[in-house]
């Protein structure tokens, strides 16, 4: 009987501690996009003086601003598309295992206020290729399906 009471008290304690947990952890925060660098990189206003550079997880768009490479096929279209999607907008960031890449950029899955999942949208419309870098693999299966479908439908950079 004593063991049952101890377990009961423990369960009640867990329930109460969860219910009194701060709701601030559940606040969804949106950040204003301040500058689009190219099809898979942009800056947000995170309240700091410099802002934060964001790199989309799981996708790679053709290069437009690489110092040693010329503008790649469909690079301008991808960059213009992302600019049209993000200009004057706010985004929500979702992270995976790694939050920062070797260049100091924040790695994120990006959602607009209207619910658009930007990373997936780029693949769906043929503006990007899948680029899976473990351990950031949360949406890799979905991304592969979207790329295959875009290829099959000759969307964007998969066009003729």
As annotated, the active-site residues are 55, 63, 105
**Parallel, antiparallel, or unpaired: how do β-strands 90-94 and 129-131 relate?**
unpaired
Compute the Cα dihedral for 100, 25, 90, 129 and give only its sign: positive
State both tokens at 20: 């009194």
Return the bridge partners of 117, or none. Answer: 111
**Cβ neighbours for 153, distance < 8 A, ≥ 6 positions apart:** 126
In the three-class reduction of DSSP (H, G, I as helix; E, B as strand; rest coil), residue 117 is classed as strand
């Amino acid at each position: 009987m004593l063991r049952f009471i101890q377990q009961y008290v423990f369960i009640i304690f867990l329930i109460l501690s969860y219910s009194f947990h701060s709701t601030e952890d559940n606040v969804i925060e949106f950040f204003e996009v301040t500058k689009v660098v190219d099809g898979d990189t942009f800056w947000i206003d995170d309240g700091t003086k410099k802002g934060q550079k964001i790199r989309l997880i799981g996708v790679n768009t053709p290069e437009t601003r690489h110092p040693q490479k010329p503008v790649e096929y469909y690079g301008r279209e991808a960059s213009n598309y992302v600019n049209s999607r993000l200009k004057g907008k706010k985004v929500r960031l979702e992270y995976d295992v790694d939050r920062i890449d070797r260049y100091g950029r924040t790695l994120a899955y990006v959602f607009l206020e209207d619910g658009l999942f930007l990373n997936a949208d780029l693949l769906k419309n043929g503006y990007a290729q899948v680029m899976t870098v473990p351990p950031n693999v949360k949406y890799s299966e979905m991304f592969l399906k979207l790329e295959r479908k875009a290829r099959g439908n000759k969307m964007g950079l998969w066009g003729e």
